[in-house]
Amino acid sequence: MLKLRRLRVEKFRSVAKATELSFSDGINVLLGQNGTGKTTLLELISMVVRSDFSSLAKEEFAVEYELSVEEGESIIVAVRNERAAMDPLPEPFERGGREAYRASAEVLGGADRRRLCQWDPEHGLRSGNDTVGLALITSCLDPAFLFSWAMTVLGVSNTVATELRQASAAQRFDESLDIFRRVIGRDSLGELRMVEKGPVAPNPREWNLLPSALLKYVAASYDPQKVDYSFTHDKLDFLATLKDMMGFSSAELRVDVTERRGMNVRPGNLAFWFGWEDGTFITHDRLSYGQKRLVTFFYYVACNPHILIADELVNGLHHRWITASIEAIGSRQAFLTSQNPLLLDYIPITSVEAVRRSFVLCRGEPREGRPGWIWENMSQDDARELFSAYEVGVEHVSEILQSRGLW
C-alpha cells in the first residue's frame, strides 16, 4: 500500500525552514491550538500524496518527500517553485502585476538515492539523458505528475503506477460539509473511458472521487443510452455499513451520466436514498449534520484504498460512530486533526517509537515580527513519558497530552 514516510519542508509559507517530519504507517494525529497550521499541513500532505501542486503555481516553495509504493520500494521526490529573475518594471507599476515562477522536480529511488527522472521547463521530463513524455507532462506542478512519470518511464512497476493513480482521490476531508456538497452537487466526479471490458481507470489529471466498487458496477451495466445508474446496499459495502449504523432497512446510491463524449463519460450528481421497512424513505438532503458527515466519510474511505486525510474527523459524530470510523480506516495510513479529546482516546498506542511518529506537534512562534509555524514530531523523551503513562492505564490519552503541555 502507498505510504507517506517522510516530509521535509525547505520553504513553504510561514513554516520554519528545514522542517522534517516522519510518519507512522497507521494513524497520524496533528496536535495544536487554532491557528498553528494544522489544516495547512493536511493540505500540503494531500498535495504531495496526490502529486498536485497546481494551487501553488504562484507561490515559492520547496519540499522533499518519500513515498513507499510497495514493500521494499520507495521513491523520494523533490519539488520546488522559485520566483524567476526578471528585468525591473518601469515605474509606476502595479505590485504583483508581473511575477514569473520556475518549477522543477526530481525523483530519486533506492537506498543509493539514484536519480530516476527530473523535470524542468527547459528540457521537460528526462530519464537519464533521454527526454520523454513531453505530451503528457506540461509542468511538475500539474496533477498526477508522478503517475505520468510512472506510466512513461520503462522499468517502473504496474503496482507503482496503480497506487499513484489511486492516490489522486486523497483530497482533504474537511471539518464541515464541503466534500459532501461536492459529491452530491458536482456535475463530474471524474472521467472514465468505457471499453469493451469495462472502464479504464479515472483520469488522474482531473479531480476525481469515485469508489472502485462503484466503477466496477457502472462498467458491468454500462449502456450508452442510459443516463443514470442505481445500486443498492447489497452491491456497495460502504452503503450497507451506513444503512446499519443509521438504523435504516435499505440504502441506494444513484449516479448520473452528466456528460458523454465518444467513449468518455463523466459520472456525477450522486444521490443517496435511505428507506425503512414500511417503504418510506428519505434522501441525503434530509439527513442530520452528523449523518451527512458519516455518509461522506464512509464514501471518502471507499474512494481511498491507501491514504486518508481528515480534518476534525469527529465533528458531529456520536462516540459509536467515532469508533466505527476509526475501525473503517483499517490498514490505511491516516492523517487526522481534532480539537475534540474523544478522537485521541481511540488512537492505538503500541510503542514509544509509534508514539513519536504518530503525533505531530504544531505551534506558533513569531519570527521577525511575523507569525510563524513550527511542525515537529514528538521528542523521544516526551514519547517515552506518554507511553509509560498510557501503560499505567489511569489517564486517557487526551489527559496525558494536556497534563504534559503537549496539546
Q: Is 292 exposed, middle or buried (0-12, 13-18, 19+ CB in 10 A)?
A: buried
Q: Is 225 part of any domain?
A: yes
The stretch 238-254 carries a mean pLDDT of: 97
Which contiguous run of DSSP H or E holds residue 297? helix 289-303
**Per-residue pLDDT tens over the stretch 89-121:** 556 555 555 678 999 999 998 667 788 888 998
In the chain, the number of structural domains is 2
Taking the mean position of all CA atoms in its chain, how far away is CA 403?
A: 32
Statement to judge: residues 17 and 146 lie in one domain: yes
* Other residues' Cβ atoms within 10 Å of the Cβ of residue 154: 6
Give the integer Cα–Cα distance in Å for 360 and 45: 13
Q: Are 107 and 75 in contact (CB under 8 A)?
A: yes
Could you tell me if residue 119 is inside a domain? Answer: yes
- Residues 20 and 103 placed together within one structural domain of the fold: yes
Distance, in Å, from the CA atom of 310 to the CA atom of 170, rounded to the nearest integer, reads 10
Spell out the alpha helix ranges (H) of 36-119: 38-50
Predicted pLDDT at 11: 96
Would residue 333 count as lying in a domain?
Answer: no
- Domain boundary residue, one of 256, 277, 303: 303
Give the 3-state secondary structure of residue 33. coil
Residue 344 lies inside a defined structural domain of this protein: yes
Cis peptide upstream of residue 92 (ω within 30 degrees of 0): yes
Range of the domain at 241: 178-303
Mean of per-residue pLDDT scores for the chain:
87
The CB density around residue 220, as the number of other CB atoms within 10 Å, is 11
Query: What pairing do the DSSP bridges indicate for beta strands 373-377 and 250-261?
Result: unpaired
Per DSSP bridges, beta strands 359-364 and 124-127 are unpaired
Task: Please indicate, yes or no, if residue 316 is contained in any of the structural domains.
Answer: no
124 and 13 within one domain: yes
Helices 145-152, 158-166: inter-axial angle, 10-degree rounding? 160
Question: Who's near 4: CB < 8 A, 6+ residues apart?
Answer: 23, 45, 48, 49, 65, 66, 67, 307, 333
Regarding whether 211 and 77 lie in a shared domain, the answer is no
Sign of CA dihedral 352, 354, 357, 359: negative
Alpha-carbon dihedral angle through residues 178, 182, 185, 186, given to the nearest 10 degrees: 150
Within a domain: 329: no
Chosen domain end from 279, 303, 327: 303
Whether 139 and 38 map to the same domain: the answer is: yes
Q: Quick one: 165 and 188 in the same domain?
A: no
On whether the CB atoms of residues 217 and 156 are closer than 8 A, the answer is: no
CA distances, 308 to each of 64, 201, 311 (Å)? 20, 20, 10
User: Which pLDDT score is estimated for 158?
Assistant: 74
Residues 161 and 184 in one domain: no
Residue 263 to residue 286: CA distance in whole angstroms:
36
DSSP, collapsed to helix, strand or coil, labels residue 287 as coil
Q: Are residues 276 and 382 in the same domain?
A: no
Q: Model confidence over 355-403: pLDDT tens digits?
A: 899 999 999 988 777 889 999 999 999 999 999 988 888 788 888 888 8
- pLDDT digit string, tens, across residues 118-148: 899 888 888 766 665 545 568 899 887 888 7
Confidence of residue 237 (pLDDT cuts 50, 70, 90): very high
Per residue in 50-101, pLDDT (tens digit) is: 999 999 999 999 999 999 876 667 899 999 999 986 656 556 555 555 678 9
Residues 60 and 121 occupy one common structural domain: yes
Among the listed residues 378, 389, 390, the one whose alpha carbon sits nearest the alpha carbon of residue 353: 378
Distance between CA atoms of residues 308 and 28, nearest Å:
10
Judged by DSSP in three states, 112 sits in: coil
* DSSP designation for 168: G
Is a pLDDT exceeding 80 seen at residue 233? Answer: yes
Q: How far apart are CA 138 and CA 164, in angstroms?
A: 18
The verdict on residue 331 lying in a domain is no
- 149 and 272 share a domain? no
Q: Where are the beta strands (DSSP E) in 84-190?
A: 101-109, 114-120, 124-127, 130-131
Q: Does 292 or 168 have the greater pLDDT score?
A: 292
Same domain, 151 and 17: yes
Residue 330 covered by a domain: no
Both 77 and 197 in a single domain?
A: no
- Give the residue from 303, 323, 357 where a domain finishes: 303
Ordered alpha helix ranges (H), 144-211: 145-152, 158-166, 178-185
